[in-house]
Amino acid sequence: MSEITSVERQRLMLFYRRRNAASWLAHLDTMHLFERALSRAAWPIAFSVEAYNPRPMIVFALPVGVGVETLSDPVEVVICDLDGTFDVKEAVSSLNDKLPPGVKIVGYEWVDGEHKSPMARVKAACYRLEAPGIGKAFSNVYDSGEPILVKRVQKKKEVTVDLRPRLLAVLRSDGDLLELIGGAGSTDHLRVDLLLDALYQYGGLDEEAALGARITRTRVFLDAVDDEKGIIVEMA
Amino acid sequence: MNRFDDPNVRAMLRAVQKPARYTGHELNAIDKSDTFFQLEDSARVHFALCFPDLYEIGMSNLAIQILYGILNEDEHTFCERVFASDFDMRQLLKEKNMPLTSLETGTALSDFDMVGISLHYEMAYTTMLEMLALGGVPLESSKRQEDDPIVVGGGPIACNLEPVADFFDFIVIGDGEEIILEIVGALKEKKKNKINRRAFLLSIADIPGVYIPSFYAIDYKENGHVERIRTLEEKAPEKLTKRLLRDINEAPMPQKPIVPNLEVVHDRMVMEVLRGCARGCRFCQAGFTYRPLRERSVETLLETADSLIEHTGYEEMGLLSLSTSDYSQLEPLVRKLLPKTEPRHINLSLPSLRLDSFDFDLAKEIAKTRRAGLTFAPEAGTQRLRDVINKNITEEEMMEAARTAFLNGWDRLKLYFMLGLPTETDDDVEGIVTLVRKFIAIWDNLPQDQRSKRLNVTVSAAFFIPKPFTPFQWSEQISVDAMREKQKQLADSLRDRRVSFSWHEYDSSVIEGVLSRGDRRLKEVLLDVWRSGAYLEAWHEHFDAALWYRALSKLPGGEAFYLKAREEQEYFPWDHLDLGVTKAFLWREWEKSQEGKTTTSCYDGCSACGNERYRTGVCPGSELGFGGSRA
């Protein structure tokens, strides 16, 4: 592979939605899905030149769990536009034609080369959970102000985690709907499956309701948890 | 309604491993629900294409993609896929009393017009029964009512489906893509004219390649051998001929195959370059039943490659066949493919290369960056035994190929052998060790700066299983005790830190052997084993030999009856089927094998196997006009 200078490489953040069948993919499968779609759409993606196995440079800001839908999750790609013919608007539209049902690019923005890696930029994520009685179950657990302790397996050892500090904001909690902002990324990451587990264990949420909940990650906050869209009503 | 809006569906998916196995809606999957169900019921055929194993296995299968494409081309047909659920999902279905459903629309198996089951290995039989049962389809064709689907079977092992014959309304023998639309056409007529199942079966009984098991009765002798096979219907042919695709370039290869969203076993684009094989290795069933060898043209393959690259996005392209290096246009093909694949970082993979015709310049060009392992299948350790099995490859050829490969950077060597071949002695088993040591010596004798650092040899041994329609169909299959002994002999002698040795399971080899040459009396055994809970038995962790031995002990003679050598004049349970090769030819080959005499490949001459009558493919006999007269 020829040497490519950084001048010809540009970082592009894509925002994707995944729904229905596609939301049941594991993170690794989602990565493969993007690699293939970008290949089908013949995007000029830069390849890492490590060892004998060059990989296309595609980085997901935040892994998405099995059974979680997204509205606008960030994934960064490195474009290697040697002949300067890359038209991002056209390319996105052609990529959308090549993505499998349920997956769509809903937005994009060029990334300043000064920015940290997409994973390091993630600050928080906004979730919408839909399940019968979830609002009530949440206040049963949340309103007391006590720690919300759940067990999880980490490196083959069972550890207890307090979810409360990971809940940054509650946007809406009534009836069958719960919207909240949780910590995301390397520190204080909120796992919504564990939250549902807590709502089932301590909040009286029906087991089938917890399992059958519709989970949507509505937004991933990069660099800062801002209120530009006026959605933040309460910071924990 | 979108089924993923249903909380019950979400709850089930959240409770199982790899839920994407059950969701469908992959790229290029076809969902006709918007138009198909608007058609009059009498004007449409809803087809369930089943593969009796997990999604990851079924979706790696080219036959499934081919048939799916052909069936869905027809606007009055909607073909959906149905795979076996893993244990966790099966448990949920049972607990919730829900049926096994299709991937595309979540339709229960029992609601389809036709259920087609693609069979590739015998150990899938119990899974197939469980799928029918879970799908709400009565297992035995004789128990099915007018509303039940018509169940058809096919695939590479359809040359002897006698153990499961009673579960099929009919069976397709030969190339499926050649016949499938004819069958669907007949089913449309059935629905339009509202004729019953029996009348429908009668209407297709004389289509070449259609075998209706209920139209044949098998009489057994007191010793359990088949006395004769009787036709029960006037329209049922006494000899059932295979369906053969005469012009393979006319047969479509999937141009827009389904791209699974989750990782499957063979995650790559696949192009079939050849069908059939000219070699005639005497143990190989596919090598005989798929004759004559037919080649696809470079033009067809290049067109397909363009489409596959555009519509799949895979990073690997596999050229598929029983023996890819026999393809006469391999070099021009590869040279024209590389400019398409390389700029897109797509690796070409050529499984099934024979090393006697291995072109290393070509191989180097293919593997510019990655040196995949080098795989040789000598099958036997001595030249004598290789002559018996007609594996026409010499030690010199192998050593020369290995030397060249080592010099070109290869350092992983995989060797495949078979134990328990006809006439095998301890010397032949020891010969495997000698051969492996010679490969290692070739490596050791190369100057260190001309080869890679460390050699890694994997030796795999399978146990020989006699298969119908091969010259070895008369052979005995060795017992578990003999298998253990041979395996141990090999393991003891092969100790070397650079060699890892693996072998096939004894008991599943025995059961596969029983089923391969089995007859209809095994139906009860299968039902017994299935009722005892056998499922997904092709996965060794789910195979329970005890269930089989217990069920087989209820049959006179038990498993030993099916493993023993056969007599020349013996009538086989599959003798009413004609797969192209004649029994006389196979017997000649059996006798030659006993004398250690080899037979040339179709490229070098005609051995009058019987396929000359098709007058197509790589077949010098058909050109000479043998017409099968010598057979």
- Reported ipTM: 0.91
Residues 213 through 242 of chain B touching chain A, CB cutoff 8 Å? none
Is A229 a member of any domain? Answer: no
Name the nearest CA neighbour of B327 among B391, B398, B279.
B279
Q: How do residues B551-574 score in pLDDT, each as one tens digit?
A: 999 999 999 999 999 999 999 999
A101/A140 same-domain check: no
Q: Which residues pair with B227 in a beta bridge?
A: none
Q: How do residues A120-165 score in pLDDT, each as one tens digit?
A: 999 999 999 999 999 999 999 999 999 999 998 888 899 999 999 9
pLDDT at B487 over 60: yes
Average pLDDT over residues B374-394: 92
Q: Do A56 and B345 touch (CB under 8 A)?
A: yes
Any idea which of B150-154, B175-179, B370-374, B625-629 has the lowest mean pLDDT?
Answer: B625-629
Q: How do residues B201-223 score in pLDDT, each as one tens digit?
A: 999 999 999 999 999 999 999 99
- pLDDT at residue B373 in the model: 73
A78/A138 same-domain check: no
- pLDDT at residue A55 in the model: 86
Peptide bond into B292 cis (omega under 30): yes
- What average pLDDT is seen over chain A? 90
Whether B25 contacts chain A with CB within 8 A:
yes
Average pLDDT over residues B214-239: 96
Amino acid at B67: L
Q: How do residues B84-119 score in pLDDT, each as one tens digit?
A: 999 999 999 999 999 999 999 999 999 999 999 999
- pLDDT at residue A236 in the model: 32
A205/A111 same-domain check: no
Shortest alpha-carbon distance between residue A235 and chain B (Å) = 31
Q: Which residues of A touch B26 (CB under 8 A)?
A: 21, 100-101
- pLDDT at residue B359 in the model: 65
- Domain ends where: A57, A89, A115? A115
Shortest alpha-carbon distance between residue B501 and chain A (Å) = 28
A181/A106 same-domain check: no
B405 or B308, higher pLDDT: B308
pLDDT confidence of B350, banded at 50, 70, 90?
A: confident
| Domain total in chain A | 2
Is A232 a member of any domain? Answer: no
Is A228 a member of any domain? Answer: no
- Buried b / exposed e over B99-114, threshold 16 CB at 10 Å, is bbbbbbbbbbbbbbbb
Any idea which of A158-167, B81-90, B346-355 has the lowest mean pLDDT?
Answer: B346-355
A86/A129 same-domain check: no
Shortest alpha-carbon distance between residue B408 and chain A (Å) = 16
pLDDT at A228 over 70: no
Phi, psi of B140 (to 5 degrees): -90, 135
Q: How do residues B570-614 score in pLDDT, each as one tens digit?
A: 999 999 999 999 999 999 999 999 999 999 999 999 999 999 999
Which CATH number characterizes residue A22's domain? 3.30.70.580
- pLDDT at residue B392 in the model: 85
pLDDT confidence of B326, banded at 50, 70, 90?
A: confident
Is A167 a member of any domain? Answer: yes
The total number of residues shown for chain A amounts to: 236
- pLDDT at residue B405 in the model: 85
A163/A92 same-domain check: no
- pLDDT at residue B325 in the model: 81
Q: Do A213 and B261 touch (CB under 8 A)?
A: no
A10/A109 same-domain check: yes
A20/A101 same-domain check: yes
pLDDT at A223 over 70: yes
- pLDDT at residue A233 in the model: 39
Q: Are strands B114-118 and B45-51 parallel, antiparallel or unpaired?
A: parallel
Average pLDDT over residues B153-176: 97
Q: How do residues B490-513 score in pLDDT, each as one tens digit?
A: 999 999 899 999 999 999 999 999
pLDDT at B629 over 70: no
Is A86 a member of any domain? Answer: yes
Do the beta carbons of residue B164 and residue B153 sit within 8 Å? Answer: yes
A125/A206 same-domain check: yes
A132/A86 same-domain check: no
Give the strand order in the sheet containing B412-419: B374-379, B412-419, B456-463, B499-503
Do the beta carbons of residue B547 and residue B125 sit within 8 Å? Answer: no
Is A81 a member of any domain? Answer: yes
Q: 3-state DSSP call for residue B316?
A: strand
Q: Do B262 and A98 touch (CB under 8 A)?
A: no
Q: Do A100 and B345 touch (CB under 8 A)?
A: no
* B20 → closest Cβ in A25, A37, A211: A25
A71/A151 same-domain check: no
Q: Which residues of A touch B370 (CB under 8 A)?
A: 52-53
- pLDDT at residue B357 in the model: 53
- What average pLDDT is seen over chain B? 93
The C-alpha atoms of residue B423 and residue B390 are separated, in whole angstroms, by 13
Whether B488 contacts chain A with CB within 8 A:
no
Residues of A with CB under 8 A from a CB of B: 19-26, 28-29, 32-33, 35-40, 42, 47, 52-54, 56, 66-67, 98-102, 131-132, 208-209, 211-214
Average pLDDT over residues B234-247: 95
Is A1 a member of any domain? Answer: no
- Domain ends where: A115, A150, A178? A115
Name the nearest CA neighbour of B149 among B96, B209, B191.
B191
- pLDDT at residue A193 in the model: 93
Shortest alpha-carbon distance between residue A52 and chain B (Å) = 6
The total number of residues shown for chain B amounts to: 631
- Domain ends where: A72, A96, A115? A115
Is A234 a member of any domain? Answer: no
Shortest alpha-carbon distance between residue A25 and chain B (Å) = 6
pLDDT confidence of B368, banded at 50, 70, 90?
A: low
pLDDT at A4 over 70: no
Whether B554 contacts chain A with CB within 8 A:
no
What count of CB pairs under 8 Å joins A to B?
A: 100
- pLDDT at residue B347 in the model: 87
The C-alpha atoms of residue B153 and residue B166 are separated, in whole angstroms, by 11
Q: Which range of residues forms the domain containing residue A92?
A: 6-115
A126/A110 same-domain check: no
Q: Do B20 and A33 touch (CB under 8 A)?
A: no
